[in-house]
Structure 1
Amino acid sequence: MGGIQVKKKLTRKVIWMFAIGQLGWSTLSAIVTNWVISFYEPNEEMLAAGQTVFLPQGRVILGLVTILGGIYALGRLFDAVTDPWIANLSDKSKNPKGRRLPFMRKAAIPLAIATVLIYWTPINGTSPVNGVWVMVMMLLFYLFMTVYCTPYNALIAELSGTQAELTAISTAISFTFIFGSALGYACPFIWGALTPALGRVMAIRVTFVILAVFALVCLLVPTFTIREKDFVDVKPVEGNAFSSLSKTFANREFRIFVCSDICYWVAITMFQSGLTFFVTSLMKLPETMNTVFYIGMTLLSVCLYAFVGKLTKRFAKKSLIIFAFVEFSIVYLITALSQGQAGTNSGMGFGIAVMVLAAPAMAILGILPQTVVADIAKSDEAATGENHDGMFFAARTFAMKLGQSLAAILFTSLATIGRANGTGYRIAAVSSTVLCLLAAVLMKLYNEKKVMRLLGEE
């Protein structure tokens, strides 16, 4: 039998020290998710700005998938093994300093280094060797991201003793997640200032080094400022990774949530990865407007955080999440229909509409999904007497990375269709619309009342 008992009461300071860790990994994640496609599969506007082509272009793998898409596919096979393995090691850990923070501390430095090296290819030109380099570095990136994020996310459930504390933690980490993502989107302003002196490629690399150093400091903050055993009475579980994973997916509500979550991550990642292309190729606006729109979404969504907290007291989390999925589907449809004329601001209206309409959905989906996973994990413990928080959040992390990889495979393949007129980008945006609607339909099947009844909070 396993289990946890919260010991000390959480303070606001501890919550924010914990949330700073998410600022670190979300910044690193944004560096990869937002820019790896445009760096290695640039469009005409980026080539004209001085971008070098490092990888063979087009659907060169079986005529269906790009090299980058193939790397993402391999990465998910890799994750299918490493994610449950790391989760099980963390759940079973008997480290006197805790089950979670020691893993996070060890992963921080290699995670930051791997992020930078993804963009530091050995050959300054087009070569399959660069493809091998990128593949190895991305596999290392996802491995160390798992070693950090799986224990980190497990602490969300373990540190919170009440729904109020769970909401407070989720709100704080949502804020730092969005801020980290915004920092990633701000990269063009930094490398734009450095480009005259360094050239575009080196300016991009130096920008990523600067952000990676900042992210590394953030990753280490919770590992040095929080004593895990002050807040959680650790009782490691027994059993191997396969056994723990099978018990996790035996939970019907979790299976439904994960299926919905995968659809959401495919949709949101295609949108995030494609935003720079949507802005430059469809709306015909400068590349820096990509940053302006995303930061605008971020600030608007942050302003809505307190409102979302109030809504959770009146409406079921399930209903709010479904609403956000539908709203995002509308945003993606507007993106698919967007257009503009080069040298003018005629596409600006579409960008502003996307920015404003996306903010409420960003606020809701930035806070509530992780609280749903925590609810499911705690209700499962109440029903079985065994604590598998690490495995539940590892499965959610895997769903995120699977969604991101499927999005990369789809987007990089679709982007090759009618690249000159942006046909592939429009197809990608429509695909995101459909996937978000599917996520809403699946979430409708989630039995929130059953979960809350097990928690005694119906």
Structure 2
Amino acid sequence: MKQLKPITNKLLWIFAVGQFGWSLLSGIVGNWMVYYYTGTPSADSPNTGLFASGITQSPILFKLTLFGLVLAAGRIFDAITDPLIAGWSDRACYKGGRRIPFMRAMAIPFAVITIALFTVPQTSNIALNDTALFVLLMVFYLFMTMFCTPYNALIAELGDTQQHRINVSTYISFTFIVGQSISFLLPNVAGALEGSFGQAGSIRMAVAIMSAIACVAMLFPAFYIKERDYIDSKPSETKPFKSLINTFSNGQFRRFVYSDVIYFFALTLFQTGLPFYETKLMEIPDTMTFTLTATMTAISVCLYPLVNILAKKIGKKSLIITGFFTYCIVFLITSICGVGVQWGFIVAVTAAVPMAILGILPQACVADVAECTRLETGEDRSGMFFAARTFAFKMGQALAMVVFTTITAIDTEDNLSSGLVTLSEVKQCYRTTAIVALITCFVGAVLFFSFNEKMILGKIKELKGSDEI
């Protein structure tokens, strides 16, 4: 048997660089597509709805907008492809490993399609734009799945011990939050380029620059890490959907997923609404979004060592429940906030706590369950466990996109200019999204009490026959 190289923290940090890349791309799309493709401009946010005239804005089914339906369809398509790609990756026997070949192949197409989303749907034909937006978004989510699902599977495989699982979860949480934070710099980068490329052109150029940086970050671990040197992986024999069914048959995994899907519904509502909360409710210029996000990120990162230590001492479950309830406080503050940048900083500081906790620990919980199952069954289906998790929470994200765009559908230039709605009513619709997030996040916290972390770690220890888990 080939002697495997030891997994080190240096290797885990190199692996985490890839998370920065894909989180930057997902942040560009997740944080700014709704902002640029819907809503109305104002003195403080002149770029809101900049591309809105190119696609259908009015509700097409009850109060559901085309944009909301397209985003939801993208997430559903993404969720459906997750188990297919996970099964493909789990069963793969490529020379370079089961995961790394996917990352190498998809990094460049993933970055290119992100640029296309802000460039292609801009013809004079609205129907053509609508179609292009739909197709491009489906392809974006497909490429993201083909990179991220194999990538996430490596979390469990590189996390060969409990300490490594918590460490790698901490590192990728850091690079994820940095990528998301950098994505909030988009208006600032565009502003610096506006003199050369114009209002719309500067945004597209900013997207292109950020996507190129993200691409390099994704390629770095894909070519540096030689998967076969560190992981003795054997292809799974179970077909994708049978593997998915087997994964959801795990009672502890289901308990985790119940709360996770609700949490991501609430978080997606909040993250999608954040630029609107800051510009519409707090009346902060959109160029301030990065400052607020950077504040939140800096405080959150400072808390990472504490979360890492506490997770090993008191367990992940208690901390995750604390994170849920703290996010409830954040959503409550947002729903009652007034005008002024001070509200933005209050939200940023408060949100830093649950961001640190829930950015690190949930994926470590999935890695624990995957490791326990591997030891029990002798079959490594790490890819499917992470895909099953993303399958579930993306369904929550899809529903959140529909709910958000439906609740905020009244915020159009025609409605405001014709007097059909008032500015006060527009603000109230955004407050409503925060209230919905508050209620659902509370439910998710209550459900997580049923997850039995001690039993899972006890089984791992027993099956390994040592104190090292």
TM-score by length of 1: 0.94
**Letter paired with 2:150:** P
Q: Which residue of 1 aligns with 2:375?
A: 382
Q: Distance in 1 between matches of 2:11 and 2:102?
A: 19
Deviates more, 1:76-85 or 1:424-433: 76-85
Provide the residue aligned with 2:259 in structure 1.
260
Shift of 1:8: 2.0
* Distance in 1 between residues matched to 2:47 and 2:24, nearest whole Å: 28
What is the identity, as a one-letter code, of the residue corresponding to 2:298? L
Distance in 2, matches of 1:36 and 1:125, equals: 19
Indicate which of 7, 11, 15 corresponds to 2:8.
11
Conserved? CA contact 1:50–1:199, under 8 Å: no
Structure 1 residues 271, 125: CA separation in 2 closer, same or farther (over 3 Å shift)? Answer: farther
* Structure 2 CA distance for partners of 1:127 and 1:119, relative to 1, 3 Å: same
Distance 1:57 1:420 in 2: 18
Per-residue CA distance 1:233-256 (angstroms, 9 max, x = gap): 011110211111111001011112
- SS of alignment partner, residue 313 of structure 1: helix
Structure 1 pair 128–98 and aligned structure 2 pair: CA distance change class (3 A): same
Q: 2:79 touches 2:395 (CA, 8 Å); kept in 1? A: no
Q: Which runs of 5+ in 2 are unaligned?
A: 411-420, 462-466
Q: In the aligned structure 1, how far is the partner of 2:332 from the partner of 2:313?
A: 29
> Are residues 399 and 231 of structure 1, via their aligned partners in 2, closer, same or farther at CA, if it must alter by over 3 Å?
same
Q: Could you tell me how far apart the structure 2 residues matched to 1:126 and 1:339 are?
A: 40
Q: Counterparts in 2 of 1:208-227, with a 5 A limit?
A: 208-227=207-226
264-273 vs 22-31, greater mean Cα deviation: 264-273
Do the aligned partners of residues 97 and 50 (structure 1) sit closer, same or farther apart at CA in structure 2, a change above 3 Å counting?
A: closer
Match of residue 343 from structure 1: none
Note the C-alpha offset of 1:452: 1.1
Residue 56 of structure 1 contacts residue 126 of structure 1 at CA under 8 Å; is this kept in 2? no
The answer to which of 394-403 and 258-267 deviates more is: 394-403
Output the CA distance in 2 between the equivalents of 1:228 and 1:237. Answer: 17
Partner of 2:347: 354
Q: Would you say 1:72 and 2:71 are equivalent positions?
A: yes
Given the alignment of the two structures, is residue 55 of structure 1 paired with residue 55 of structure 2, yes or no? yes
Deviation at 1:223, TM superposition (A): 1.1
> Structure 1: which amino acid aligns with 2:448?
M
Conservation of the 8 A alpha-carbon contact between 1:50 and 1:200? no
1:152 equivalent in structure 2 = 151
More deviation, 99-108/8-17: 8-17
1:301 matched to 2:300: yes
Shift of 1:286: 1.1
Q: Which amino acid aligns with 1:450?
A: M
In structure 2, C-alpha distance between the alignment counterparts of 1:451 and 1:255, rounded to whole Å: 13
Does the alignment pair 1:450 with 2:455? Answer: yes
Say if 2:435 is the partner of 1:430: yes
Q: In structure 1, what is the equivalent of residue 129 of structure 2?
A: 130
Per-residue CA deviation, residues 106-131 of structure 1 (Å, 9 max, x unaligned), is 11111111111111134345712111
**1:315 aligns to what?**
314
Measure, in 2, the Cα distance between the counterparts of 1:178 and 1:369. 15
Once the 2 structures are TM-superposed, how far is the Cα of residue 76 of structure 1 from its aligned partner? 3.7
Could you tell me which residue of structure 1 aligns to residue 23 of structure 2?
Answer: 26
User: Which of these residues, 354, 358, 363, is aligned with residue 356 of structure 2?
Assistant: 363
Specify whether residues 197 and 373 from structure 1 end up closer, same or farther in structure 2 by C-alpha distance, changes over 3 A only.
same
CA distance in 1, matches of 2:47, 2:183: 23
Q: Which runs of 5+ in 1 are unaligned?
A: 341-346
Give aligned pairs, total: 448
In 2, distance between residues paired with 1:300 and 1:5?
44
User: Structure 1 stretch 68-77 or stretch 369-378: which is displaced more?
Assistant: 68-77
Asked if the contact 2:38–2:49 (Cα under 8 Å) also holds between the matched residues in 1, the reply is: no
Structure 1 range deviating more: 227-236 or 45-54: 45-54
**How does 1:162-181 map onto structure 2 within 5 Å?**
162-181=161-180
The 2-side partners of 1:96 and 1:50 are apart by: 47
What per-residue deviation string (whole Å, max 9, x for no partner) do you get for residues 391-418 of structure 1? 0011122234323322211111111245
How big is the alpha-carbon RMSD for the aligned residues of Structure 1 and Structure 2?
1.9
Alpha-carbon distance, 1:156 to partner: 0.6
- Once the 2 structures are TM-superposed, how far is the Cα of residue 15 of structure 1 from its aligned partner? 1.3
CA contact (8 A) 2:21 2:214 kept: yes
Q: Distance in 1 between matches of 2:274 and 2:357?
A: 20
Q: d(CA) in 2 for partners of 1:314 and 1:144?
A: 38
For the structure 1 residues 28 and 357, does the alpha-carbon distance in structure 2 shift closer, same or farther, using more than 3 Å as the test?
Answer: same
Per the alignment, in what secondary structure is the counterpart of residue 168 of structure 1? Answer: helix
Would the aligned equivalents of 1:111 and 1:144 in 2 still touch at CA under 8 Å? Answer: yes
Does the C-alpha gap of structure 1 residues 80 and 274 become closer, same or farther in structure 2, counting only changes over 3 Å?
A: closer
SS of equivalent residue, structure 1 residue 44? coil
Q: Is the 8 A contact 2:24 2:214 kept in 1?
A: yes
In structure 2, the CA distance between the partners of 1:430 and 1:50, relative to structure 1 (3 Å rule), is closer
Distance 1:6 1:401 in 2: 39
- Per the TM alignment, residue 49 of structure 1 is displaced from its structure 2 partner at its CA by 7.0
